[in-house]
Structure 1
């Protein structure tokens, strides 16, 4: 980072609030529900396989995850899964659509401080209704001037958004917990990024941490963002 950004964007899930732990809990419930049909490893792998097949069609979010859990259950049981078990999976999915939002420690302090002088953006991927609902339930929506919800976070998506806001990549800062989605695509188009790792990461977002000279800054806590930006200013 070598210049103060004109536009500061935050990822949402597992950057502003806890999300993946809820999905991890749902997967554990699925393993318990289907334990007579396979080992934990078999159930995990079947769900990963089904999600891999479905991501391009269904995208990200709780609804696609719920349908993938149902399909995994059908596959694991050779179609013998009962209606009551499918209803339990549907109930798990519904809980993922309405769980109380728990902000990550320090988030509101950072947003309140930065929004007093700068326009902030939420830039997240997933289901539109689901992400809008989470932002509304979070209680921090008032700190953001812009909200962008996309189906995928790749270089082309970032370029489109920056073009729409008339911001050069060098004047853009992305803050998030995913190297794959939040950090490297932004660095690759010439933007700035702050990587804030979270203690658990979705299987499809995992990748080896790699040094990227002059590309991004890694911090331990989102509170560290304030110190970095104050130093730049």
Structure 2
């Protein structure tokens, strides 16, 4: 990598940027719909679950525990309060299974982080349950490559301004992630670069239009393209 000029700090999202995550939510949602098949079609059950998740984000935040509570709430609602205790037990078991799922790094994640480590100040910026995010980072084997880890309740422009201000400056920083809504747009609003790395599965509540007119917006097909992008930005002087 060339000598640092335009960039000093690189922030990485974790879930569905460095390792698989959404696929486990989708599989559990299918399992949940099967449990409640007597009370509606899978599409209807999923829609009711999404409504509960939206309502509960401000209360439970992001992550598996909030998702599990939303499943229980939905089960109570669609059965009009008659959900069997055995079904509640199944939902809780599904939540525990999610909390123990293996960590599957995405293509190019390790080699890219390894290549950038030392040349840039690397910060992992992830939202969700503290315990679960710490578990996944430890299981990924990537933890030692990051100079700092920031686990936050939400990602906003103020969040990135605060974090990148603490680890350098927003103007000299870049955020890399699969979510336009959480990783890219608010980072750009904070004055940083925002790099979108699309994932085939992205939660519907994270869908927004890409900020194609923003000068500091970039999109790459996978993390393998990131070092060359960073080099081109640094060469721009």
Alpha-carbon RMSD across the aligned residues, in angstroms, is 1.2
Partner residue, 1:231: 232
Alpha-carbon shift at residue 113 of structure 1 (Å): 0.6
Residues 69-90 of structure 1: per-residue CA shift (max 9 Å, x gap): 0110110111111111111111
Q: Does the residue aligned with 1:223 lie in a helix, a strand or coil?
A: helix
Alpha-carbon shift at residue 218 of structure 1 (Å): 0.4
Q: Does the residue aligned with 1:80 lie in a helix, a strand or coil?
A: coil
Q: TM-score normalized by structure 2?
A: 0.93
Poorly superposed stretches of 4+, deviation over 3 Å: none
Aligned counterparts of 1:138 and 1:180: Cα–Cα separation in 2:
25
Alpha-carbon shift at residue 46 of structure 1 (Å): 0.8
Q: TM-score normalized by structure 1?
A: 0.95
Q: Which range moved further: 59-68 or 118-127?
A: 118-127
Match of 1:11 among 3, 8, 13: 13
Alpha-carbon shift at residue 190 of structure 1 (Å): 1.3
**Aligned pairs for 1:139-154 within 5 A:** 139-154=141-156
Match of 1:57 among 41, 56, 59: 59
Partner residue, 1:187: 188
Aligned counterparts of 2:210 and 2:202: Cα–Cα separation in 1:
13
Alpha-carbon shift at residue 119 of structure 1 (Å): 2.2
Partner residue, 1:163: 165
Aligned counterparts of 1:128 and 1:59: Cα–Cα separation in 2:
11
**Aligned pairs for 1:21-100 within 5 A:** 21-100=23-102
Residues 84-136 of structure 1: per-residue CA shift (max 9 Å, x gap): 11111111101111111000011000011111422211001111111111101
Partner residue, 1:115: 117
Q: Does the residue aligned with 1:14 lie in a helix, a strand or coil?
A: coil
Alpha-carbon shift at residue 203 of structure 1 (Å): 1.7
Alpha-carbon shift at residue 168 of structure 1 (Å): 2.1
Partner residue, 1:203: 204
Q: Does the residue aligned with 2:23 lie in a helix, a strand or coil?
A: helix
CA contact (8 A) 2:211 2:217 kept: no
* Distance change (3 Å), C-alpha of 1:232 and 1:208: closer
Aligned counterparts of 1:156 and 1:216: Cα–Cα separation in 2:
18
Runs (5+) with no aligned partner, structure 1: none
Partner residue, 1:212: 213
Alpha-carbon shift at residue 210 of structure 1 (Å): 4.2
CA contact (8 A) 1:4 1:229 kept: no
